[in-house]
Amino acid sequence: MTTSASHSSNTPVSNWLAQRILQLRIAILLLFAVLLAAAAVFVPQFRIDASADTLLVKNNALYIKTQQANQRFSPDEFILVAYKPRNGEIFSNTTFTDLTWLREQYLALSRVQSVTSILTVPLLSDASVLTSDADVTELTWQKQQFSPQQMQQMLSDHPIFTDLLINKAQTATALQIVFKPDPELSALEQEILAVQQNSLQRPLTADEEQQLEQLQQQAAPLRQALVKQRQQELQQISHINQQVAQQAETFTGGAYVVAQHLVDIISSDLTVFGSAITGIIAVLLLLLYRSIRWVLFPLLACAASVWLTLGLFAVLDIRATVISANFIALQLILTLAVMIHLIATYREVARNNPDHSQQQRIISTLQQKLAPCFYATITTSVGFGSLIFSGIQPVVAFGFMMLIAMLITMSVSLLLFPALLSLLKANTETDDFAFITAGLQATRRLVERAPWACIVMVLLLFSLLLPGLMRLNVENSFINYFASDTQMYQELRFIDQEFGGSTPLDIVINLQPEDSDSNLLLSAKQFNQLHVAHAAVAAFAASGNVTSLVNFTTLARQLNDDKPLTEYELNSIYRLLDEKVASQLVGAYLSDKPLQARISTRIQDTTAGLDREQLMQQLNQDLQSVGLTPQQYSLTNLFVLYQDILSRLFDSQIKTLGLVYLAMAILLLLIFRSVKIAVIALIPNVCTTLGILGLIGWLGIPLDIMTITIAAIAMGIAVDDTIHFVHNYLKAPRGQALQNSFAHTGIAMLFTSTVIAAGFAIFGFSSFLPSVYFGLLTAAAMLMALAADLTILPALLSRFVQPAASEKA
């Protein structure tokens, strides 16, 4: 083999390593056999923590505050089932019969605590019942059998139940299914929060961290079980709903249904796409190499790396989350990419030296490919590693996972794979498809003949994508994670639009103690502070159902001949309710110590033109303009947590991308020891990453925690081909450098890019839109990178860099 000046330091190392790997092949095989067996022990312990919570950043103040509010007001966990009669009449005896039947069925589910519908809520026609001794619970349809007309009259524009149990248009009614909390889990969560709260004031001590760790471990299985239980419940509920399908359409929705659907999709994606990608890879390998061994061995190696990774994750108790659930597919694809480069070289060696023994072939292959394969996996790891600095917890975790996975991929493809190959007989290798090689050579001739035109053309094409960067946006919601033609989306959208929105947003107001009256729980002044805030919140077009004490007093005013209550009357009513009823009615909206009131709303995610950042800004502004100081209120719950992540996406995208560019520049500099070459190698990859971001912008796809990883990952993977090409170019004999590189590396680049692109494109069939975008866009990035690596890269190299071999000559 030709040694080059610039690689003189690498090649002897490569040679030495190649020899050692082959000598130690039995030991390597044994070692991996032991590791695989050990992994088998742990793999069953591997867990998918696919709750929607994993999409959130958990260790920040916002999350802790949300938890605090949740514990203080302990709002019920509920889902909504909307019932839309096909004949349009909700106030009819048929509807009432169905609602009664559905309610009974739901109540039979073990975790269901209560089911509320328009038939079970007390309906009042005047206020006298509020102060008299009458039993309010008697005033329901169930007890009184009101006529459909009476029901319609009492429920029209009801301050509490409109948007919750009946839509404004009165075309559908909803059943609210309330679930019992798990006392054990609640207790644990309370303990966890008690420790976490401290971090609001000071960093946690080592003891606390440890305690937290322990508590989390206790809570984890309970949470898992809850996710599973919810899954079953949703199935049962949907089964029950089918029984009334003749009379009515039903829609299931509400905050945790969205999350639960996410979990379902992701767990099914994990297995479906894991196996689909394996299948696609097998078919592609068979097509490309037309030989069983080149299907079997790469797949074996892929399986081994995934297996080892699963085992290691289980040992380290790293869990797959919504974001990182794709790691199996990713690892399969990336392991394969490395091996295709090895196989291409091996086949070429075999074709050129038909007499060599298998061992000699492998040594030659390794001598040529050990260094570039090593660098390539390093750069890919760096691509993923940059995610660790994204500042968004789920993405950080994903970065860590892929970093570990890549190290395993590297050792499997560079140690296990050659050791396995050495067991094979030295067959003669088929030729590569002539049309592929011909096509590649045609491209080469084009590049050689008109390098400048080529560079300008490609840069021009990419620059067309750049204006898309300006159009990038972060508008997104959980509902928009589902493709709009899916049943899930339709149901969620119906609930979102007709029954008061989806993503919960809470406004917790500290009522000023200086306004309080010792005779009263709540003074008029305190109450009205809440009232103006409530009005400000409800004014937003995107606010769905807005609920607070104000709904109750509005109802009271309606019933009281349109006269407001006095503060004493309000207090008297509260005192006269028995404690259980009081906590049921208003406990979720008023807490005694400290005196806080909660306004609860759900944001309608399908509101046209919703700008969430602006909504948050304006809401803060409005609350302050109606007299609350920033210390007096806090915004909590899912909407805020999610918005917090969205608001960091741009920042995070810029940070990770900048970091990736910097790390790659340093790596390329280390590998090629030339600023010029490093810059040239960087250019096609920068083009690709900016190009893909531009494409995202042009297509109007919102950035989310999955799509922001695309650019960094694409860079990490695409650089591999660049390194292989440049590496080959530098080693090739003078005059034939380009021809040699296209012939040797071009094939492998084409194959890897095709396999990776095809593998990622499979995700296009997911119903989880972030996965769809992630798959299709990464595939697009791979093809863009291939195009850049075969045009602009050789053109630049041929213009500015002489192969090292010629320098020496």
Partner 1 sequence: MTSNTTLSLILLLLLSGCASQPQTPPEDTPAPITSQSTDDSANAELTASEQLSSGKTATIETSQGKIEIEPTVVDMAERAPATGEEQAQQYNDPLEGWNRGTFAFNHFTYTYALIPLAKGYEYITPAPVRDKIGNAFSNIREPLSMLNNLAAGELKDAGTNLGRFLINTTIGILGLFDPATAWFDLPEAKQSIADTLAGYGVAPGPYLVLPILGQNNVRGSTSVVSEYLLDPIGQVTNPPDTYYLQGVDAVDSFSDRARVYEELYRQAEDPYLYFRNQFLQGVKRDDHFSQPQQ
Place of tokens 């380009």: 738
Binding partner 1 (rule: CB under 8 A), the pick from 12, 88, 221, 564 is: 564
Residue 583 as a binder of partner 1 (CB under 8 A): the answer is no
Between 315 and 521, whose beta carbon lies closer to partner 1?
A: 521
Residue 559 interacting with partner 1 (CB under 8 A): no
Other Cβ atoms less than 10 A from the Cβ of 227: the count is 21
Is 352 a binding residue for partner 1 by CB under 8 A? The answer is no
Structure tokens at 769: 């839109």
Nearer to partner 1, 486 or 512 (CB): 512
Neighbouring-strand partners of residue 248: 85
Residues 627-656 that bind partner 1 (CB under 8 A): 627
Work out whether 201 is an interface residue with partner 1 (CB under 8 A): no
Question: Is the Cβ of residue 553 or residue 798 nearer to partner 1 in the bound state?
Answer: 553
Nearer to partner 1, 626 or 669 (CB): 626
In the list 33, 245, 483, 535, the residue contacting partner 1 (rule: CB under 8 A) is 535
Task: Report which of 680, 578, 671, 776 is spatially closest to residue 7, judged by C-alpha positions.
Answer: 671
Instruction: With CB under 8 A as the rule, give the number of residues binding partner 1.
Output: 41
**Interface with partner 1, residue 131, by CB under 8 A:** yes
Is residue 528 within the footprint of partner 1 (CB under 8 A)?
yes
In the block, residue with structure tokens 């330091």: 9
Q: Which of 9, 201, 519, 631 binds partner 1 (CB under 8 A)?
A: 519
Q: How many Cα neighbours within 13 Å face the side chain of 545? A: 28
566 part of the interface to partner 1, by CB under 8 A: yes
Backbone torsions φ then ψ of 42, nearest 5 degrees = -90, -30
Sort residue 102 into left (φ over 0), alpha (ψ -120 to 50) or beta: alpha
| Six-digit token string for 284 | 């592609």
Please report which helix (H) or strand (E) contains residue 86, including its range.
none
- According to the binding rule CB under 8 A, does residue 146 interact with partner 1? no
**Total Cβ atoms within 10 A of residue 14:** 19
Q: Which stretch binds partner 1 (CB under 8 A): 75-83, 112-120, 424-432, 538-546?
A: 538-546
Q: Which residues pair with 80 in a beta bridge?
A: 176, 253
Tell me: does residue 514 bind partner 1 (CB under 8 A): no
Please report which helix (H) or strand (E) contains residue 577, including its range.
none
Name the one range near partner 1 by CB under 8 A: 52-60, 67-75, 254-262, 526-534: 526-534
CA distance 503 to 476: 11
Q: Pick between residue 485 and residue 579 the one whose CB is nearest to partner 1.
A: 579
Q: Please identify, among the stretches 411-419, 473-481, 527-535, 779-787, the one whose residues bind partner 1 according to the rule CB under 8 A.
A: 527-535
Spatial separation of the C-alpha atoms in residues 711 and 658, rounded to whole Å: 11
- Of 8 and 625, the one with the shorter C-beta distance to partner 1 is 625
For 91: left if phi > 0, alpha if psi spans -120 to 50, otherwise beta; the answer is beta
Q: Rule CB under 8 A: say whether 554 interacts with partner 1.
A: yes
Residue with the two structure tokens 């061995």: 297
Q: Which is nearer to partner 1, 210 or 625 (CB)?
A: 625
- Residue 162 sits in the site that holds partner 1 (CB under 8 A): no
Q: Is 68 in the site for partner 1 (CB under 8 A)?
A: no
3-state SS, residue 519: coil
CA-wise closest residue to 748 among 328, 349, 153: 349
Does 599 interact with partner 1 (rule: CB under 8 A)? Answer: no
Phi/psi class of residue 167: alpha, beta or left (left: φ > 0; alpha: ψ in -120 to 50)? beta
Q: In this chain, which stretch among 23-31, 177-185, 499-507, 551-559 interacts with partner 1, using CB under 8 A?
A: 551-559
Cα–Cα dist 327/637, whole Å: 29
Side-chain-side CA neighbours of 783 within 13 Å: the count stands at 11
Q: Which is nearer to partner 1, 60 or 554 (CB)?
A: 554
Q: Is 625 or 736 the residue whose CB approaches partner 1 more closely?
A: 625
* Backbone Cα Rg of the chain: 32
214 is a site residue for partner 1 (CB under 8 A): no
Max intra-chain CA distance, the chain: 107
Helix (H, G, I), strand (E, B) or coil at 673: coil
Instruction: State in angstroms the smallest separation of the CB of 509 from partner 1.
Output: 11
Residue closer to partner 1 by CB (options 241, 526) is: 526
Interface map 221-240 toward partner 1 (x if CB under 8 A): --------------------
**Using CB under 8 A, which of the segments 283-291, 536-544, 651-659, 785-793 binds partner 1?**
536-544
- Does 563 participate in binding partner 1 (rule CB under 8 A)? yes
Residues in the chain: 809
Q: By CB under 8 A, tell whether 132 contacts partner 1.
A: yes
SS3 45: helix
Q: H-helix or E-strand containing 634? A: strand 633-636
Contact criterion met (CB below 8 Å) for 102 and 81: yes
Residue 57 is encoded by which pair of tokens?
Answer: 């950043």
Q: Which of 223, 557, 655, 673 binds partner 1 (CB under 8 A)?
A: 557
Judged by beta carbon, residue 146 or residue 398, the one nearer partner 1 is 146
137 binds partner 1 (CB under 8 A): no
Taking the complex as a whole, the smallest distance from the CB of residue 643 to partner 1 amounts, in Å, to 17
What's the min distance (Å) between Cβ of 148 and partner 1?
Answer: 18
* Structure token digits, residue 47: 């867990």
Q: Which stretch binds partner 1 (CB under 8 A): 137-145, 377-385, 442-450, 554-562?
A: 554-562
802, HSE (Cβ side, Cα atoms, 13 Å): 9
From candidates 327, 384, 527, 633, binder to partner 1 by CB under 8 A: 527
**3-class secondary structure, 386:** helix
Dihedral sign for Cα atoms in the order 289, 295, 300, 306:
positive
Least distance from C-beta 592 to partner 1, angstroms?
14
149 lies in the binding site for partner 1 (CB under 8 A): no
Residue 579 contacts partner 1 per CB under 8 A: no
Shortest approach of partner 1 to residue 530 CB, angstroms?
A: 8
**Do residues 226 and 232 touch, judged by C-beta distance below 8 A?**
no
Check residue 550 and report its DSSP letter.
Answer: H
The token duo for 435 is 């049309």
Rounded distance between C-alpha atoms, residue 621 and residue 757, angstroms: 47
Q: Does 143 bind partner 1 (CB under 8 A)?
A: no
Of 21-29, 175-183, 548-556, 708-716, the segment contacting partner 1 by CB under 8 A is: 548-556
Residues 493 and 619: beta-carbon distance below 8 Å: no
DSSP letter for 560, please.
T
Terminal Cα-to-Cα distance of the chain (whole angstroms): 16
Judged by CB under 8 A, which of 294, 398, 540, 742 binds partner 1?
540
Question: Does position 562 bind partner 1 by CB under 8 A?
Answer: yes
Contact stretch for partner 1 (CB under 8 A) within 130-138, 223-231, 371-379, 698-706: 130-138
Q: Which of 429, 567, 720, 789 binds partner 1 (CB under 8 A)?
A: 567
Q: By CB under 8 A, is residue 568 in contact with partner 1?
A: yes
The C-alpha angle 286, 287, 293, rounded to 5 degrees, equals 25
Of 675, 695, 683, 667, give the one whose Cα is nearest residue 788: 683
For partner 1, which is the closer residue by CB, 360 or 632?
632
Gap between the Cα atoms of 424 and 427, Å rounded: 8
Question: Which residues 612-631 are close enough to bind partner 1 by CB under 8 A?
Answer: 618, 621-622, 625-627
Which chain residues interact with partner 1 by CB under 8 A?
Answer: 131-133, 518-519, 523-525, 527-529, 531-532, 535-536, 539-541, 550, 553-554, 556-557, 562-570, 572, 575-576, 618, 621-622, 625-627
